[in-house]
Amino acid sequence: MGSYQRAAPPEGRNLKFYRTTPKGAAGLRQCEQLRSPYLADVLELCNRGIGESGLRQFMPQASLEASVARLLELGLIECAEGPAPRAVR
């Protein structure tokens, strides 16, 4: 039996955190107009906020990068460096 070790995150590297903007939240109701299932999926995932590592679990890297870049360009999501904010109960 082989051993498995989880890779540690790179030292000093801040991961990105994405969330919808007010414009993006309004756009959630019109996802079908985005013409790309990847764009609609990323926008939906960013609705409550999601870290970069969380997004990587759902789609291929190239599609993810293109989708995030396009949604940022359209002003539908925003990016913050650092750890994801903690949920308030």
Helix (H, G, I), strand (E, B) or coil at 87: coil
Is-above-0.85 flag for pTM? Answer: no
Which residues constitute the domain of residue 68? 16-81
For residue 5, being part of any structural domain is answered with no
pLDDT tens-digit map of 3-59: 544 344 444 455 789 999 998 888 777 666 667 778 888 988 998 899 988 998 988
pLDDT band at 80 (very low <50, low <70, confident <90, very high): confident
For residue 4, being part of any structural domain is answered with no
Q: Nearest 5°: CA angle at 19, between 13 and 24? A: 145
Range list of H helices, 12-56: 22-27, 37-46, 52-56
- Total domain count, the chain: 1
